[in-house]
Structure 1
Amino acid sequence: MLALERLQSAQRLIADTLLPTPLVLDHVLSDQIGRRVWLKGELFQRTGSFKSRGGLHWVRTASRGELTGGLGAVSAGNHALGLAWAAGQAGVPVTIVMPENASRFKVDGSRKLGAEVILYGDINAAWERMHELVTERGLTLVHPYDDERIIAGQGTVGLEILEQAPEATAILCPVGGGGLIAGIGSAAAALRPELALIGVEPCGAASMAHAWTQGGASRLEKVDTCAKSLAAAIVGVHTYPLCRETTRALVQVDDAAIGHAMRHLLYQAKLMAEPGAAVGVAALLEESVALPPEGDIVVVITGGNMSREELDPFL
């Protein structure tokens, strides 16, 4: 796991720009399961998701040589927004390849933040194109999750949760490529090892569960989920062992359960969460997760970036 000192250093480095996000008590869900359920509101963070943490930490720890030729990234959307914003703070150009089915809201938002956005194929094809651009243009690749500097930045979410929720016994964390859960897991293992960290994936993109089964990062042949922010076809060589070491369990939820959770968050908790951000609540509503017998539960609501058109099918 990443050293606690590294996470704390990341927290200090971004604290002047990125404020802690609140915990919101979900009264209805708390009543339903008979204990307090707190929602960690990362949708309130700059650029609408936790990704700005890792992006800003990466940029602020980069060498001049890494920044000189500009940055490159592959993203379904939130990493694009977070890195475009962070790079803009430093006046560094960034090129992002996104799959053709990426959220138009996130595409337009990234362009407004100054990024060059190229739409190309599916997520696997997008990666192939980015590797070509790295060679052609001399870009420095900023991986959306499989980079220790990114993981350390995302781990600041865990440091905040542990400070804000001293009575928590479990954290439910959405899992795509694994950067967030790897960072939170490192924080929890160092400061509260008895806490149960539970990863939640969409059934159509359960790349971390696949890695656990295979004994290492292994690419899914197909990704099919409404939770595009979690649609990583393969987890990272860094995130896999960190997750395996610090995560107690992985569970999966289907698209119907995700839609149910989004409606709950919108109408009951008053939060407009995107599909990938709702998977933890979906697991609780579906009662598909084994929780510790007592204590508070924290669910990370990772982002809220979507247009009205994208929201409509779930209402």
Structure 2
Amino acid sequence: MLSLADVEAARERIDGVVRWTPLEYSYTFSEMTGADVHLKLETFQRTGAFKLRGATNRIATLSPAERDAGVVTASAGNHAQGVALAATRADVDSKIVMPEHAPISKVEATERYGGETVLYGADYDEAQAKAHEIEREEGRTYVHAFDDDEVMAGQGTIGLEIVDDCPDVDTVVVPVGGGGLISGIATAVKARKPDTRVIGVQAEGAASLPESLRTGSIAELDAVNTIADGIATRKVGERPFEVIRERVDEVVTVSDEETAVALTYLLERAKTLVEGAGAVPLAALLFEHFDYEEGETIVPALCGGNIDTNQLTTVLVRGLVETGRYLKIRTVLRDRPGALQDLVEIIADQRANIYAIQHDRTSRDVAMNEADVEIDIETRGHDHIDEVLDALRTAGYAVDVLA
């Protein structure tokens, strides 16, 4: 099984390629939770995610013949970039298979780092099957995203950095997809500080690990569906699973809505951009999916910041909705002069700000002398939303909440 010596050896191999990322105290999240919260900002890693660590360590162990033949891998995006950059730095040819719907930003970044991309399949597992086909046909070495001891050891260097930078850490919270990251971190942390808890977090739409731990054998999902695409795997790897069973204290799940809230708070209050997978550890803390003591020193590992810009817009709007900062309504007005102004004045009297108005006289859903109106409104919380809706309904408007 993976050992501390493996992780320490990996740290020596990746030195000079991989950055030692910051660990920063968060006054905001400490105040919100009552814990002593320090954020491990792996978002500042080269390529924007932790995957460079494991990829660099694995490629450093290739034989001369394997280096000449090149490498291949499958990835939803972050591992792709890590392998591409690590291979380019080592003068090794790389071919990366990514799901057909991988964020375009991650595809382009992978190519900029020197990797040849192949888009194939609906998700990671189908892309992985294609990558193994290329492995057999071209004689390349497959660099697994998580089910590989050298990859796990490379990811575990984050655990060494956390303990070195925060010797009093009580709990480390880690996202879990295939399990390579948490198995490496747990190995390092438990060896250095056996009493420190390691808690894993999966997205509800890709949560295979809780069932796997319950039954003692790896469970595989039929499909995954989550905004946290970096951890959207159908199952954990065999090697990581054995480490997780022995060294991880607890595994919890979070909803996409909770993840969106955490991502929004990180951007707004910590000025830190993360992807969905990077936000799940903070979501688990904010929504109290695990128990902790007042003042407990907790380190959420923010594992990546490579979020597609189009997805970011959607996630932020969902985060604003969940925190009561955004309201979208629909109502029907009589089609007469001043009707829209009357409606707007009621909203203004409640000190709510209007983002946008869509006024449609031609909608087939209303009568000929009526107009269909949708309004996007900036609000100050759920109580404020209730006040706006109460004022409109008291004035006689039939209001449907759309978001």
Report the TM-score when normalising by structure 2. 0.76
d(CA) in 1 for partners of 2:140, 2:284: 39
Post-superposition Cα deviations, 1:239-272, rounded to whole Å, max 9, x if no partner, equal 0010111111000001100100000100011100
| Residue 225 (structure 2) aligns with | 224
| Residue 30 (structure 1) aligns with | 30
TM-fit CA distance, 1:292? 4.7
> C-alpha root-mean-square deviation of aligned residues, in Å?
1.2
Post-superposition Cα deviations, 1:261-289, rounded to whole Å, max 9, x if no partner, equal 00010001110000110001111111111
SS in 2 for 1:106: helix
Choose 42-51 or 305-314, whichever is displaced more.
305-314
| Residue 257 (structure 1) aligns with | 258
Unaligned runs of 5+ in 1: none
d(CA) in 1 for partners of 2:35, 2:223: 38
SS in 1 for 2:201: strand
d(CA) in 1 for partners of 2:216, 2:14: 34
d(CA) in 1 for partners of 2:208, 2:18: 30
1:103 partner amino acid = P
1:153 partner amino acid = G
Unaligned runs of 5+ in 2: 317-403
| Residue 115 (structure 1) aligns with | 115
- 8 Å CA contact 2:70–2:141 kept in 1: the answer is yes
TM-fit CA distance, 1:96? 1.0
Post-superposition Cα deviations, 1:217-248, rounded to whole Å, max 9, x if no partner, equal 23211111110000111111100010111111
1:97 aligns with 2:127: no
| Residue 338 (structure 2) aligns with | none
1:31 partner amino acid = E
| Residue 71 (structure 1) aligns with | 71
Residues 172-187 of structure 1: pairs in structure 2 closer than 5 A? 172-187=173-188
Post-superposition Cα deviations, 1:90-121, rounded to whole Å, max 9, x if no partner, equal 11111111111111111110011121111111
Q: Percent identity?
A: 40
Post-superposition Cα deviations, 1:25-55, rounded to whole Å, max 9, x if no partner, equal 2211101222310110001011001111111
d(CA) in 1 for partners of 2:29, 2:50: 23
SS in 1 for 2:177: coil
Residues 186-265 of structure 1: pairs in structure 2 closer than 5 A? 186-265=187-266
| Residue 271 (structure 1) aligns with | 272
- 8 Å CA contact 2:35–2:293 kept in 1: the answer is no
SS in 2 for 1:9: helix
Post-superposition Cα deviations, 1:191-240, rounded to whole Å, max 9, x if no partner, equal 11111100011000012223213312232111111100001111111000
- 8 Å CA contact 1:170–1:292 kept in 2: the answer is no
d(CA) in 2 for partners of 1:58, 1:135: 19
TM-fit CA distance, 1:293? 5.6
1:69 partner amino acid = A
| Residue 162 (structure 1) aligns with | 163
TM-fit CA distance, 1:307? 3.3
- 8 Å CA contact 2:175–2:303 kept in 1: the answer is yes
| Residue 134 (structure 1) aligns with | 135
- 8 Å CA contact 2:252–2:289 kept in 1: the answer is yes
1:204 partner amino acid = G
| Residue 82 (structure 1) aligns with | 82
| Residue 285 (structure 2) aligns with | 284
TM-fit CA distance, 1:74? 0.6
d(CA) in 2 for partners of 1:305, 1:48: 6
- 8 Å CA contact 1:223–1:233 kept in 2: the answer is yes
- 8 Å CA contact 2:71–2:93 kept in 1: the answer is yes
- 8 Å CA contact 1:205–1:231 kept in 2: the answer is yes
Name which one, 1 or 2, has greater alpha-carbon Rg: 2
d(CA) in 1 for partners of 2:293, 2:118: 45
Post-superposition Cα deviations, 1:40-99, rounded to whole Å, max 9, x if no partner, equal 000101100111111111111211122221101010000000000000001111111111
d(CA) in 2 for partners of 1:37, 1:156: 20
d(CA) in 2 for partners of 1:177, 1:258: 19
Choose 245-254 or 124-133, whichever is displaced more.
124-133
